[in-house]
A = this chain, B = another copy of it.
């Protein structure tokens, strides 16, 4: 699944579900070392921020040489993904479970995005670094990690859409997956605007709600339902 080292990891038959038994001393040492590295990186990133933390420090804290560190992660950015991938997946799973399944589609989607938001809010600097790396990953080896993470996220976003479709609220000819991607895209660009200081958190939330509504309703003029009140305010830029 993760394939950290890349070169010399010939673990018998992979780890399909539960992580195969300890095997030899080497394997165990490596696993322990990787855990120490990830734990150290997480701790230091959270304490000092991404840029303020040096790879030397991480290596020292994990009680290994710098060279060894770069054997487990090909770059400092790699560590970011290694550290936060699981956390993000945890967040999205929890958000999926706690989703108010009988609420409106819009509210269900907002529930999920709110979970992300709350998480990112805890450390904006880290959020920036993470988003930057996930957007364009510097190391091709991380493609699969990022891809599988996005896959999971899309699936979780697709769930409420699928439920709404089952209830007949969403057109049955809609590709739920694609819809989830569109919805995520809108969240994502909003998030970037917030992190970049273009809009406040409050604005972001309001805008997101409006944007989602628009996605659900569509743009097209449907002679039947022209009633709705004019949508609220446009994005306000700071000068």
Contacts of A177 in B (CB 8 A): 234-235
Q: Does A67 contact B (CB under 8 A)?
A: no
Since A181-B189, A184-B189, A185-B189 are in contact, a sample of 15 more A-B pairs with Cβ atoms closer than 8 Å, ordered by chain A residue number, is A128-B136, A135-B135, A137-B196, A143-B196, A143-B197, A169-B221, A170-B219, A170-B221, A172-B226, A175-B232, A178-B210, A178-B211, A178-B231, A178-B234, A185-B190
User: Nearest Cβ in chain B — how far from A161, in angstroms?
Assistant: 7
Expressed in whole angstroms, the Cα–Cα distance for A178 and B131 within the complex equals 23
| Residue numbers in B under 8 Å from A119 (CB-CB) | none
User: Least Cβ distance of A16 to chain B in Å?
Assistant: 15
In the complex, A140 Cα to B198 Cα: how many Å?
11
Chain A interface helix/strand/loop/mixed: helix
> Which of B146, B147, B178, B231 sits near A214, CB closer than 8 Å?
B178
In the complex, how many angstroms separate the beta carbon of A14 from the nearest chain B beta carbon? 14
Interface residues in chain A, defined as those with a beta carbon under 8 Å from any beta carbon in chain B: 105, 128-129, 131-132, 135-137, 140, 143, 146-147, 151, 161, 168-175, 177-179, 181-182, 184-186, 188-190, 192, 195-198, 207, 210-211, 214-222, 224-226, 228-232, 234-235, 237
Evaluate contact between B143 and A132: CB separation under 8 angstroms: no
Contact B222 A224 (CB under 8 A): yes
- State the 6 A-B residue pairs at the shortest beta-carbon distance, nearest first: A218-B218, A185-B189, A185-B185, A132-B136, A175-B231, A177-B234
Give the contacting residue for A218; candidates B132, B210, B219; CB below 8 A: B219
Contact in complex: B219, A222 (CB < 8 Å)? no
- CB-based contact B215/A175 at 8 Å: no
The reply to whether A178 and B146 contact each other, CB–CB distance below 8 Å, is no
Q: Complex Cα distance A115/B189, Å?
A: 20
Nearest CB of chain B from residue A65's CB, rounded to whole Å: 26
Q: Which residues of B contact A234 (CB under 8 A)?
A: 175, 177-178
Q: List 25 A-B contacts (CB under 8 A).
A: A128-B136, A131-B136, A135-B136, A135-B192, A143-B198, A146-B196, A147-B198, A147-B237, A171-B221, A171-B226, A171-B228, A173-B228, A175-B234, A178-B207, A178-B211, A178-B235, A181-B211, A182-B214, A185-B185, A188-B189, A215-B215, A216-B218, A218-B218, A218-B220, A222-B224
